[in-house]
Chains A and B, each alone.
Chain A
């Protein structure tokens, strides 16, 4: 295998390096063509090339950044398109239950279901957190008839991504146990108030489930899910399974069977926006506020729920990992934790509703993660060569203080503004009139979201 690759590289010395360029070009065109193709396309038509690219992405570390950059570009486009602020859900808790049975090694998705799903999952997590800044995701895997919490419930996408990139920990084997997976998810969410939105997303690749023999059956578990209001969505890679459909219908989730890779992705992405019910009718998510409202005054009951509302939120104090104190949510001795800003009771984790005073307690950085949508950085304009020659401009980039190319050396005839690329290498902020280099322009708009000049 590796011998082939090496040979490959050395044969065509001129256009090196084979895999990486191919991967990137293919990736770019692939994602574009994926969108552009007509809906009637069948699974067996023209999929091969794109799947091959996914292999390359996964095997070469350097490609990941390229792929990610494409994603980032897509996200940026979306952000640029949305003139009006996007609607964001408030608090969601989701366990992704991943089937890692041997069936994941099936090759109907290229190269394997496993590789494809893992790739999707990574971008899914990023996208999900972009749209649900206050949400939390945990990951449970099912294999060898056991279930295991891979990532406990948490709000840090980086942490999840780093775990997902470690493929050795995720080797598929054995059979899945749907029941064990669901029990694990239920246990993992038991500390959360039922008023926040609890969800599980099951990616099921097998066509059977090997559940433990005993008095408790999957039907009992289903009952508990219903009582605990855990919405369960199941996406099957293989086919429709009765129990799966039953679970989703009873818990108010969705059931989907993928036709092909793209369809599967669409199904997955459909679960990113907050569930419809949380927006329209009596929303479990705003219950924290509702509770607070009703405790103060019995207003608002039964009235038409408005689209938007103001919510009272408290920003807690995180305690250092010193001694152990009792928490108010479980009554257990624990290290660390958060103090409710209103009643000073200790909570294990945020975001949550305070057990004592009912205040919705969230971590302000979680909120702040979405603020860049609200304060977009002004676009930087290309600086034509005359302006550089005429006005006394700074010699260095205002961001990274790199030296600009000497304007006098640029040939005026050649220097045309093309494709938004500045011939002078300078991009000027419309607001603060500082000049930036191309690298900083992209970094500021893609990642930093704050203009160094405007921040002064």
Chain B
């Protein structure tokens, strides 16, 4: 869906300045996911790229990753004056703002360190504190025997909604709602808008650590929908949904609503998915959809190090520089699958109520949502149809690198060969290498 990049070679058209950029990071700190990541299975062989194949699977622990993330966030702060960072932690079933600290919190560390830029220090120490607080809460939950909550998927949707609310607040003239509550409110923002081009641009970076399959099956319909269905449930299937009550967190509908709200506010949702293919081959498809629909960048780590370089190369440029002049990394195929309302399965092919467009995974006589009665005669037909439905695997297509305009193909091949021989050291974004080359940091 991303528009083809305009053919640009004229460096004079490059932007002279960029608006300040607010980066909202949603960090998935689900304990189970991180325990998986810290002891990953051996990496899947990658014979096409011997250099990559050589690299070992890197275990990644949360502290290690947070260290990398801090450097990345510092780089974001460093890249322009006025840039800001907001971080949400999403743990099992709950999301929390980690930075900026709540207004009543004790103000940071007492003393600046002589070798750290003070804003960096504030950010880093507050993230550390916030994560420790969250970890303590998790510990607390665990000790109180609330084991069930630990199995909940990370509250991505809650974190996303919070992030969008935050964006809505800092961009008051962007929202209809502000105008609704106070018609006079729109005058005010118009004034700075005309003189200050510095309306901040925002983007959301979702760092997912939960294996894709889990995210997809576990993300499910709103709790509310479930309740509603049960309340009025005329269907006999009402009970079967109850069994899955524990999984009803976040939700497909919620995520999609977030995506549309982000689309409206022109906020790209970038997704970095940490679980390498060796842990889980299927990508978190709904996060991938979110990135695709909001023109964000989706990328899955290959489990072989180089994360710091990837973060800088893929996710650092602000939205105003993406597409033009910078190239966006090529994106994988996106599966537009959906989740059914009855059993919260991820579907390739589903049964859709023609009245309210609810999605079901099996034929049923009455629509659960709008109570429309479907013709009884068509049920057997649909049932037979359902048996014909076969899933096809998502092809793991890696788009070939964009051939530089005007390049002769053999040149390109040569480049590629050289690249492989040397063991590429540049990130994916450079476009000359395939995905997943290891990067060493000296």
Direct A–B contact present (CB less than 8 angstroms)? yes
CA distance A86 to B357 in the complex (A): 10
CB-based contact B381/A300 at 8 Å? yes
Whether B161 lies near A448 (C-beta < 8 A) is yes
Complex: how many Å from CA A398 to CA B88? 12
Which residues 220-278 of B have a CB within 8 angstroms of A?
221-225, 249-254, 256-261, 263-264
On whether the beta carbons of A88 and B161 are closer than 8 Å, the reply is no
Q: Known contacts being A374-B225, A399-B162, A449-B257, is A133 close to B357, with CB within 8 Å?
A: yes
User: Are A66's CB and B257's CB within 8 A?
Assistant: no
Task: Say whether A440 faces chain B, with CB atoms less than 8 Å apart.
Answer: yes
Within residues 264 to 296 of chain A, which ones have a CB less than 8 A from any CB in chain B? 286, 289, 292-293, 296
Task: Answer whether A342 and B389 are a contact pair too, CB < 8 Å, given A365-B293, A401-B162.
Answer: yes
B357 adjacent to A454 (CB under 8 Å): no
Given contacts A400-B165, A446-B180, A454-B223, contact A312 B351 (CB under 8 A): yes
CB-based contact A365/B162 at 8 Å: no
Interface residues on B, range: 35 or more
CA distance A43 to B259 in the complex (A): 44
What's the nearest-Cβ distance from chain A to residue B284, in Å? 15
Asked if A216 CB lies within 8 Å of chain B CBs, one says no
Check B169–A317 contact: CB distance below 8 A. no
Q: CA of A435 to CA of B177 in the docked complex: distance in angstroms? A: 18
Residues in A with CB closer than 8 Å to B103 are 395-396, 403
In the complex, are the beta carbons of A448 and B258 less than 8 A apart?
A: yes
**CB neighbours of A342 from chain B (8 A):** 348-349, 388-390, 392
B158 at the interface (CB under 8 A from A): yes
Quick check: B257 and A371 within 8 Å, CB to CB? yes
Asked if A456 and B165 sit within 8 Å, CB to CB, the answer is: no
Separation of A395 and B104 alpha carbons in the complex (Å): 9
User: Is residue B95 contacting chain A, with contact meaning CB distance below 8 A?
Assistant: yes
How many whole Å from A295's CB to the nearest CB in chain B? 9
B68 within 8 A of A: no
Indicate whether B369 reaches chain A with its CB closer than 8 angstroms. yes
Q: What residues of B have a CB within 8 angstroms of the CB of A61 in the complex?
A: 190
Inter-chain contact B378/A300, CB cutoff 8 Å: yes
Q: Decide: B333 and A320 in contact? CB cutoff 8 A.
A: yes
Q: Give Cα A322–Cα B431 distance, bound, in whole angstroms.
A: 13
Is the CB–CB distance between B381 and A311 below 8 Å? no
B-chain residues with CB within 8 Å of residue A439 when the two chains form the complex: 165, 168-169, 172, 175, 177-178, 181
Where chain B touches its partner, the secondary structure class is mixed
Report if A228 contacts B (CB, 8 A): no
| Contact flags B377-421 to A (C-beta < 8 A → 1, else 0) | 110111011001111101101011000000000000000000000
Which residues from B are CB-within-8-Å of A66?
A: 179, 183, 186
Rounded to whole angstroms, the CA-CA distance of A411 and B76 in the bound complex is 44
CA distance A313 to B333 in the complex (A): 20
Q: Does B60 contact A (CB under 8 A)?
A: no
Residues of B contacting A344 in the complex (Cβ-Cβ under 8 angstroms): 392
From A20, A359, A440, B187 is in contact (CB under 8 Å) with: A20
A309: interface (CB < 8 Å) = yes
Judge whether A402 and B378 touch: CB under 8 Å: no
Identify B385's interface contact among A72, A73, A296, A431, CB under 8 A: A296
Q: Is there contact, CB below 8 Å, between B331 and A320? A: yes
Instruction: Report chain A residues within 8 Å CB of B356.
Output: 85-88, 370, 373-374
B165 touches A297 (CB 8 A): no
Q: For B172, B177, B256, B347, which residue has the most chain A Cβ atoms within 10 angstroms?
A: B177
Given contacts A310-B352, A314-B349, A323-B400, contact A300 B377 (CB under 8 A): yes
A28 — nearest CB in chain B belongs to which residue? Answer: B183
Smallest CB separation, B218 vs chain A (Å): 13
CA distance A320 to B395 in the complex (A): 11
Q: Does A315 interact with chain B (Cβ within 8 Å)?
A: yes
Contact with A along B172-216 (1 / 0, CB 8 A): 110111111101101101100100000000000000000000000
Would you give the shortest CB distance from B207 to chain A, in whole angstroms? Answer: 18
User: Interface residue count for A (Cβ, 8 Å)?
Assistant: 100
Which residues of chain B are within 8 angstroms of A28 by Cβ–Cβ distance?
Answer: 183
Question: Closest CB of chain A to B434's CB: distance in Å?
Answer: 12
Chain B proximity of A316: nearest CB distance (Å): 6
Q: In the complex, what distance in Å separates the CA atom of A395 from the CA atom of B166?
A: 16
Instruction: Please indicate the chain B residues that have their CB under 8 angstroms from the CB of A456 in the complex.
Output: 93-95, 155, 158, 249-250
Measured CA separation A72–B175 after assembly (Å) = 11
Q: Residue A10 at the B interface, CB < 8 A?
A: no
Give CA–CA (A361, B264) in the complex, Å: 25
- Complex CA gap A115/B354 in Å reads 37
B105-148 at interface with A (beta carbon < 8 Å): none
Q: Which of B157, B164, B172, B259 has the most CB of A within 10 A?
A: B164
A133 to B357, CA, bound (A): 9
Contact segment of B46-54, B313-321, B358-366: B358-366
Q: CA A453 – CA B165 in complex, angstroms?
A: 12
Q: Are A69 and B179 in contact (CB under 8 A)?
A: yes
Contacts of B348 in A (CB 8 A): 314-315, 341-342
Check A452–B165 contact: CB distance below 8 A: yes
- Does B353 count as interface, using CB distance less than 8 angstroms? yes
Choice from B168, B224, B331, B358 contacting A454 with Cβ under 8 Å: B224
Q: A401-B162, A454-B222 are in contact. Are A73 and B180 (CB under 8 A)?
A: yes
Stretch at the interface among B14-22, B299-307, B335-343: B335-343
In the complex, residue of chain B having the shortest beta-carbon distance to the beta carbon of A305: B375
Within 8 A of B (CB), among A76-94: 84-88, 90
| Closest chain A residue, CB of each to CB of B225 | A375
Asked if B4 CB lies within 8 Å of chain A CBs, one says yes
Contact B168 A440 (CB under 8 A): yes
Residue of A nearest to B165 (CB): A399
CB-contact partner of B161 in A309, A320, A369, A399, under 8 A: A399
* From B261, B338, B370, contact of A367 by CB (8 A): B338
Contact B363 A310 (CB under 8 A): yes
Residues of B within 8 A of A158 (CB): 263-264
B237 to chain A, nearest CB (A): 14
> Once the chains bind, are B334 and A85 in contact (CB under 8 Å)?
no
10 residue pairs, one from A and one from B, having the closest CB atoms: A442-B177, A399-B165, A308-B372, A62-B190, A364-B338, A322-B399, A368-B256, A69-B179, A341-B348, A452-B161
Q: Give the interface of B toward A (CB within 8 A).
A: 1-2, 4, 93-95, 97, 102-104, 155, 157-158, 161-162, 164-166, 168-169, 172-173, 175-181, 183-184, 186-187, 189-190, 193, 221-225, 249-254, 256-261, 263-264, 289, 292-293, 330-338, 347-360, 363-364, 367, 369-370, 372-375, 377-378, 380-382, 384-385, 388-392, 394-395, 397, 399-400
27 A-B pairs, CB-CB below 8 angstroms? Answer: A21-B184, A28-B183, A68-B176, A68-B179, A299-B377, A306-B374, A310-B353, A310-B374, A311-B353, A311-B354, A312-B351, A312-B352, A318-B335, A321-B2, A363-B336, A365-B256, A373-B356, A397-B165, A400-B162, A402-B169, A439-B178, A446-B176, A446-B177, A448-B161, A448-B164, A452-B95, A454-B223
Since A68-B176, A368-B259 are in contact, a sample of 13 more A-B pairs with Cβ atoms closer than 8 Å, ordered by chain A residue number, is A17-B187, A85-B355, A306-B373, A309-B378, A315-B335, A319-B397, A320-B399, A365-B336, A368-B253, A443-B164, A447-B176, A454-B223, A455-B254
